[in-house]
Chains A and B, each alone.
Chain A
Amino acid sequence: MIDILKRLVKQPQGLIGAILFSILAIAIIFGPMIAPYDPETFHFGSRLNSPSLDFWMGTDQFGRDIFSRLLWGARSTITLSLLATLMATVIGCTIGVISGYIGGRFDEIVMRFIDAAMAIPNLLFSLMVVTVLGSNATNAMIAIGIAFTPGMARVARSVTLSVRTLDFVAAADARGESGLWITAREITPNILASVIVEGTIRVAFAIMLLATLSFLGLGAQPPAPEWGLMVSEAREFMFKSGWTIFWPGIAIATVALTFNLLGDALRDVLNPKTH
C-alpha cells in the first residue's frame, strides 16, 4: 500500500492529483469549520458584491457568501459522487464477474443487455431515471449509479475473462472448490486493480454528471449549496457578476481534474506491465 503511494507521487500526474486530493479532503472534513459565514444566511446589504476582503469570492444574488457555500457544498457533492460510483462498481462487478465466470450462452445474453444499456448515453439514462424517481440529490445519485453500472460490468467481465484462464483458477477448479469460492477468493482480488482504476476515473464523470443534473434542475434543489445548482441560479446575473459563475464552475472542474489525474497515475502504477 505504502509502496503504491510512493510510486504514485513519483509521477507528475500522481503528485498533482495527490496534492489536490489532500486539499479536497481538508475541505470536506473541516469545510464547515473554515467557512467564514453560514451558507444560507442572506446579507441584504451586500448582494452580488464582487470578491473583497469580507467576501473572498464575492456574494450571490441574495448576498450569500460564495466561498462558504462552496466549502459546504464540497461535502455533499463529493460524497454523493463517490457513493454513486461505489454503487455502480459493486453492482457492475457482481454482474460482470458472474457473467464472465459462467460464460457460454448466459454470458452472451447478459452482454447483449449490457451493450444495449450502454447504447443509451449516461446523461440520457440518468435523466430518465430521475424523471421516474423525482428530482432531488439522492435520486440523482441513484440515477448516476444505475447509468454507470453497465460500463463497470463490462470492464469487470473483460478482466474476469482474462483472469479465469490463469493457472491458479484451474488449480482451484481441480481442488474441487465451489464456483462461489473461486469467484470470491481467486478472481475478485485479481481484478481489483483494473476496477479501482476504472472507478477512480468514473468518479470524475460522476461529479460532472451530478453537477449537470443539478444545473438542469433535476438534482439538488434550492437553497442547497450544490455547485451545479449555483451555476444555474447565477445565470441570470452572469454578465454583470461573472464571479457567481466562475467560482463554482472552477470548483467542479478542479474536483473532476483531481480524480482524472489520480486515475491516470493509478493506471500506470497498478499496470502489471510497468513493474
Chain B
Amino acid sequence: MIRLRLERRAETPAWMHVALPVLAVIATLILCSALVAMAGAPVLDAYGFLFLSTFQTLYDVQDTLVKASPLIWTGLAVAVAFRAKFWNIGAEGQLIAGAMAAGFIGQRTWLPAPTLIPLMFLGAMVAGAAWALIPALLKVKLKVDDVVTTLLFNSILLYALMALLEGPWKDPVSNYPNSPMIREEAQFPILAGDTLHMGVAISFVAAIVVWWLMERTTLGFSIKAVGANPRAAAYSGLSVARVLLGAAAISGALAGLAGAGEVGGIRYQVVSDLSSGYGYAGIVIATLADLNPLGVIPAALFFAIIMNGADAMSHETNVPVYLANVIQGVALLTMVGGRLFASYRLRITRASMEVSRG
C-alpha cells in the first residue's frame, strides 16, 4: 500500500521565496484564463492588453508608478501588521483617515506655505495610526477580535466621510459631494512627466526604510518575535501588548500615507471614492511579498499593471474589467496554498500494514 505523507521541511529554501510568488502568479493567470475564454475573448490577446497596454508610452509607465504608490503603502501597512499577527484588514479605512487629515491640513489658509506638505504627511500618519490604534486597543484590552473591528472600521469611516462631504466639508461652489481644493502650495511637486508626484518616490523609499526597520532594529525584531510566538516573547521580557500597539500604529501610519498621496498628489481634494479597494489589495500584495517590505515593491507594481491594464483590456476585448478583482483573490489563495507546499515536502512511502496512528 502506498501512502502519501506530508512532512514539514526544516527550513524553506531561499530560492523558494522568489520562485513561489512567481509560480503563484503564473498559476493565477492560468486559472483566470478560463474566465477570459468564457467571456469570449482570445486569452493571449486579452492578457496582451492586460499587461502590455501599460508599457506602450512613457505616460503609461508613469501611470503605473502612480497607481503602485498607494498599493506600496497599503502593502507595507499590512506586512508590518501581519508580522505582529495584528490582523489589520482596515488599511482601507486608515487610508481614508490619512486622506481626511491631509485634505483638512492642505486647505488651511493660516498655515505657512512651506509647512503644508510636511504637516499633511504628519497629519496623515497620525490619523491613520489613530484609526488603527482603536481596534488594536480593543484587542489588547478587551480581547475583541481585530479582524472584525478593523473591517467594520472601514465602513464606519467611509460613511462618516460621506456625511462630512455632504455637510460641513462640502465645497460650497460644487454640486458634487467634494471638499474644496487644497491650496496650490499643498499640491505635491511633480517630479517627472505630468502625474509622477513626490509621494510616489517617497513610497518606494519607504519600502526600504520599513525593510530596515523590520530587519535591522530592535523594534522590528520585537514585532517579529511577538508575531511568531507571543508567549515566548512575553517570557523573554517583551511587553506583547505594547509591541502589538506599536505595530498597529506603524501599520496605520503607512496606510494613512497612501491617503495623503491620493489627496496631495492626484485629486487635490477629498472625495469619497479615493480608494478603489487599495486597502484590500494591500493584503494580497503583502501576502504575495511573503510579508517582506522589499517584496512589496514588485507585488505592488504587478497589481498596478493589472488594475490599469484591465481598463484597456475590457475596452478592447469585452472581458469585464472585474477580471482584475478575480485575479487578486485567486493570487492570494494560490500564494497561501503554494506557501504551504513550500513548507512541506510530499513523501511517498510504502507501508505494508496500517501504521499505528501517530
Chain A partners chain B: no
Chain A positions near chain B (C-beta within 8 angstroms): none
Chain B positions near chain A (C-beta within 8 angstroms): none
